Structure 1
Amino acid sequence: MRTLTRSGIVRFVFAFASMVLIALPAQIRAEIPAFKQAVAEAAALDRDIADFYRETEYAPIWTGPEALDQSRRRALLAALDTAAAHGLPAARYDVPGLLAMLADVRSARDLGKVEVAMSKAFLTYARDVQTGILKPGAVDDDIKREVPLRNRKGYLTDFVQASPDAFLRALPPHNPEYTRLMKGKLTLERTIERGGWGATVPGKKLEQGDSGPAVVALRDRLIAMGYLTRTATRSYDAEIMVAVQKFQAAHGLDTDGVAGGGTLTEINVSPEERLKSVIVAMERERWMNMERGKRHILVNLTDFTAKVMDDNKLTFVTRSVVGMNQHDRRSPEFSDEMEHMIVNPTWNVPRSIAVKEYLPMLKKNPNAAGHLNITDSSGRAVSRANVDFNQYTEKNFPFDMKQAPSNSNALGLVKFMFPNRYNIYLHDTPAKSLFARETRAYSHGCIRLAQPFDFAYTLLARQTDDPKGVFHKVLKTGRETQIDLEQNIPVHIIYRTALTTPRGQLEFRRDVYGRDAKIWNALDAAGVALIANRG
């Protein structure tokens, strides 16, 4: 048996294996020292398992004859049978091998080996389904996510004290997004099994009034995807335009109703590629299998939005600009807590920007970037006329550069701080035109907000009856001022190319930095199957 996917097969073989264990001769069960010795030897190279069995005096938790032991075996095998549905590598847990070992038990030593093999499979699955199979930073070093790994021995200790089925059901993320992604995965698998969404759409641009084979292909694909009800039209009519707008909205595109190059590229993406995005999103959800905060801020880099969420419901959303797709400017992914906002901020130019962008300008013209003040290490103003900037390099440039508060300040009129080692924050910007663009990856890494004032009002509304008045009273002073948040707010900077709506519809975004392609390649290498074989 190469892979095991049908729960019916699992139940049948498991029932057989259970009967074998129950029917073992009494003398085998009496060979307790041999069983314990086999457990100790089999667990020797896994410290957590070895410590667990040593502390429990090598008592079986899977292979005993009691009803609870049978219940644990049954629960584990049933959980392992669902691994592929979670986008996990089913072969990693070797269910056929476990069942073969169970069926071939002939001695107490055999029983001890099975005991440890089941514990190993249990621990591998438990950690995989709860916190993911990959180490985020090893896939892409801009993924700074700290995965909330649980203690391995603690899994075993807690499991033996709990209801087996309930314990295993509680392991995967229980947030609504993960549940909807699982359903979306199944829907895409069925779509692929039925042949996909049909022929791709040729051409570079289709719009209202067009007709011909390309429009028919567009019509058929929109119907197959569920954006258009059945119709026999061969022309790009109002119905098709509305369907295109629905598609565009679900893929983060400008909703102009014109099937231009960008829209057609997304329409022609195969269901297999979309399924990869969903499986990656599920792995990413497992990396964040933790309490995110009743109120939290969610910045999805691929969606170019910043949201305030309350009890998993959207309270506020604004467009954002994120880091451009260059090696030192891509916005990282991580979580932290927002502590305060700074109104009328001074922009302290990051050293990387000062030496890479402004120093070359100053070498050509000492008066370049005149909006910036230059100070020495003691904070004293430096006269540009008295400095030969050509003597400095990126390594020995000794000055600091900053921009005083103003409407033209690079940070705008407010920034929102969640102090972190990456020097990333949310802020206003005078470059408002960028928010009208479909793809908004233009910053040096920080997150720019289209509606920073409204964002501030939303945050302050929890601590004052007049958030707008409080904010503008400070703003009018023109002085840099810090407003503390009475309660810190978790901030999660995430990256999702597959996401869902509250009603369960799948939506997709472009892989702006190519990170999800890397994650899929790593999952594929780990044995994750694109299509879960259901037998």
Structure 2
Amino acid sequence: MLSVFRTSTSILLTACFAATATMANTTSDAAPDTAFQMAVAENVPNASGIAEFYRINGFSPIWVGDAPEHAQRRAALIKALSNTDLHGLPAASYDVQALLDQMQNARSVRDLGAVEAELTRVFVEYADDLYAGALRPAKIDEGLVRKVERRSAAEHLQGIDTHGATYLDQLAPQSVQYRALMKQKLALETLVDQGGWGPTVPVAKLEHGDTSPNVLKLRNRLVSMGYLNPTASPGFDDGLLAAVRAFQTAHGLEPDGVAGQGTITELNRPASDRLKAVYVALERERWLPRERGPRHILVNQTDFSAKIVDDGLVTFETRAVIGKNIKDRRSPEFSDQMEHMVINPSWYVPRSIITKEYLPKLQANPGAVGHIEITDRRGRQVNRGAVDFTQFTARNFPFAMRQPPSKGNALGLVKFMFPNKYNIYLHDTPQKSLFAREVRAFSHGCIRLAQPFDFAYALLARQEEDPKAFFQRVLRTGKETKVDLEQSVPVHLIYRTAYIGPKGEVQYRRDVYNRDRKIWDALQKAGVVLPDVQG
């Protein structure tokens, strides 16, 4: 792909590069007044910020000058564009061959102005895609409300102009997760090209002690996936039991060692499906903030978990319940700052729940949902018996609703606040039995925690000498109490069906909301292509 730098091509272009550099550097005027400058001005989009950069820069070339740094930038850009598939980006978008052809066919200063403009246009597109993702999340799914940190065209151009080829190496996320996902992508691509994991396993319950042809198929599948060493044993022995449990753990399944319908369904997913998940995970990683915070909270919705991460290490983890998989209840994805917790919280019922769930019940029976207080605009409790609820609609219902602090409160005994327009937060719950479920999508959108007290102790440990005693003392008062965090903690609500665990192990999860399927479809439309072989 680097043939443009062959000696023959260099001979054809050297004179033009030299002339371009001389003409471009003889003027500092903002307005173009040479053939090169005119060609650049005519070929860059005005609305992109690129034209303004060149005007400020006096139309000095970034790519087509004859100095060593120009040659280094050209070579580095072509090399980077030739390897976009390493990052799971749509290589066709950048059309490297068209760039090479245009460079090789340049015969005049004006031609080189057009080459300069096209190299810049493609560089800015590539830099934006690699730095912040090729897709725009909000256009894919209404739950993708994350604000992606993007650099302007001028910032990217200033970066390459100042730092040269090294700037290209800084564009991709520098996280351990991103690098590990790239490695897994390469391994899966090789696997898919070789035919995948072989024959699938019939969907029938298999457990310890069983002996059948299906057990052999299960064994062979787990061997090919790397969960079991090859063995001639025909039965479901201890080794196979351990392998099944390891597979279940790595795929977010209950590790009971029984290969039932759910386990075999996940086991039979082709390697190409896992590869798609990794492509999507790479794109999602590009959407996340580069600085997550030395201490941050990470909620992976597909894993139904909430973690506290300190300097890259998970220091606390608990099971979580996320929003139910129906419209208006799915938990959104975004990042924010946790500022405080509320011990003994009241539950101020969201307007959507009031009008959609409680108003119909009150219209049928004014005494319904008696554990909830109905209040007017001034916060005064309303006498239910004096109100004709049938006269109201969802649009004109004038009251608010509140559940006072109690063990039966919908928020439990503590909530953790990162104020946001989506009204999402982390909280306790009286419905403890839900945490025993394998798939935990039951809430109205907020994140429920299985161990909220321990979560609170971990957060308070940095500001209280005895965080447990402090928390319990406030809890015993029974009064709604706001406790500020002396230092706010970044919260990242993510959705990752493929990720790398703390020991380097690959983890896969189910696409609970079908968001990853939508992202994959969008990547395909953008030009991402997988190997043909499925398995």
TM-score, normalised to structure 1, is 0.95
Structure 1 CA distance for aligned equivalents of residues 520 and 97 of structure 2: 26
Deviates further, 371-380 or 321-330: 371-380
The answer to whether residue 39 in structure 2 is matched with residue 48 in structure 1 is no
Hey, what does 2:281 align to over in structure 1?
281
The residue number in structure 2 matching 1:476 is 476
Deviation at 1:46, TM superposition (A): 5.1
Deviations 1:429-485 (A, max 9, x none): 000000000000000000000000000000000111100011011000000001110
- Equivalences for residues 291-302 of structure 1 within 5 A: 291-302=291-302
Change (3 A) 1:468 1:73: same
> Displacement, 1:375?
1.4
> Are the counterparts in 1 of residues 4 and 103 from structure 2 also a CA contact under 8 Å?
no
Secondary structure at 2:507 match in 1? strand
Q: Deviations over 1:250-297 (max 9, x none)?
A: 011000000111111100111111111100011011011421100000
The answer for the alignment partner of 1:7 in structure 2 is none
Counterpart of 1:163, as a letter, is G
Q: Secondary structure at the match of 2:52?
A: helix
Could you tell me whether the CA contact under 8 Å between 2:127 and 2:156 is conserved in 1? yes
| 1:18–1:213 Cα change, 3 Å | farther
**Equivalence for 1:212:** 212
- Determine if contact 1:188/1:271 at 8 Å carries over to the other structure: yes
* 8 Å Cα contact 2:345/2:413 also seen in 1: yes
> Partners in 1 of 2:162 and 2:211 — Cα distance?
67
- Matched letter for residue 171 of structure 1: L
Distance 1:26 1:187 in 2: 45
Alpha-carbon offset, residue 411 of structure 1: 0.5
Change (3 A) 1:24 1:351: closer
Sort the Cα spacing of 1:293 and 1:282 in 2 relative to 1 into closer, same or farther, 3 A.
same
Matched ranges for 1:484-495 at <5 A: 484-495=484-495
**Alpha-carbon distance, 1:370 to partner:** 1.4
In structure 2, the CA distance between the partners of 1:59 and 1:407, relative to structure 1 (3 Å rule), is same
Question: Would you say 1:22 and 2:23 are equivalent positions?
Answer: no
Structure 1: distance between partners of 2:47 and 2:76: 23
Q: CA deviation at 1:523?
A: 0.6
- In structure 1, give the amino acid aligned to 2:202: P
Q: Distance in 2 between matches of 1:427 and 1:502?
A: 26
Separation (CA, whole Å) in 1 of partners of 2:241 and 2:369: 47
After superposition, residues 81-480 of structure 1 pair within 5 angstroms as 81-164=82-165, 166-480=166-480
Please give the alpha-carbon distance, in whole angstroms, between the structure 1 residues aligned to 2:21 and 2:407: 81
Q: Secondary structure in 2 aligned to 1:160?
A: helix
- Aligned partner of 1:6 in structure 2 is none
Q: Secondary structure at the match of 1:121?
A: helix
Structure 1: any 5+ residue segments left out of the alignment? 1-9
Shift of 1:104: 1.0
Cα distance 1:532–1:340, how it changes in 2: closer, same or farther (>3 A)? farther
> Using a 3 Å threshold, how does the CA distance of structure 1 residues 27 and 453 change in structure 2: closer, same or farther?
closer
Q: Deviation string for 1:21-45 (max 9, x for gaps)?
A: 2265977877762222212221254
Whole-angstrom CA distance in 1 between matches of 2:443 and 2:17:
72
Q: In the TM superposition, what is the alpha-carbon distance from 1:342 to its structure 2 partner?
A: 0.4
Give the drift of 1:189: 0.3
DSSP-derived class of the 1:520 partner: helix
2: CA distance, partners of 1:328 / 1:44: 40
Q: Which residue of 1 aligns with 2:30?
A: none
1:4 matched residue in structure 2: none
Task: Indicate if the aligned counterparts of 2:424 and 2:445 stay in contact, CA closer than 8 A.
Answer: yes
The offset of 1:116, in angstroms, is 0.9
Query: Take 2:18 and 2:491, find their aligned partners in 1: how far apart are those partners?
Result: 60
Deviations 1:354-374 (A, max 9, x none): 121111212222211111111
The 3-state SS of whatever aligns with 1:161 is helix
Q: Distance in 1 between matches of 2:519 and 2:370?
A: 44
Cα distance in structure 1, aligned partners of 2:270 and 2:378: 59
Tell me the secondary structure at the aligned position of residue 54 of structure 1. helix
User: 2-side partners of 1:53 and 1:251: how far apart?
Assistant: 51
SS at match of 1:470: helix
Write the distance in 1 (CA, Å) between the matches of 2:405 and 2:19.
85
Where in structure 2 are there 5+ consecutive unaligned residues?
25-33
Letter in 1 for 2:51: A
1:169 and 1:301 map into 2 onto residues whose CA distance is: 31
Contact 1:203 1:214 in 2 (8 A): no
State the Cα RMSD in Å: 1.7
Residue 270 of structure 1 aligns with an amino acid whose one-letter code is P
How many residues get paired?
Answer: 523
**Structure 1, residues 7-62: CA drift from partner, whole Å, max 9, x if none?**
xxx23443354443226597787776222221222125454221222222222221
Give a deviation string over 1:99-154, Cα, whole Å, max 9, x none: 11111111111111111111111101100000001110110011110000111112
CA distance in 2, matches of 1:63, 1:322: 53
CA distance in 1, matches of 2:442, 2:468: 29
**Residues 251 and 25 (structure 1 numbering): CA distance in 2 closer, same or farther, change over 3 Å?**
closer
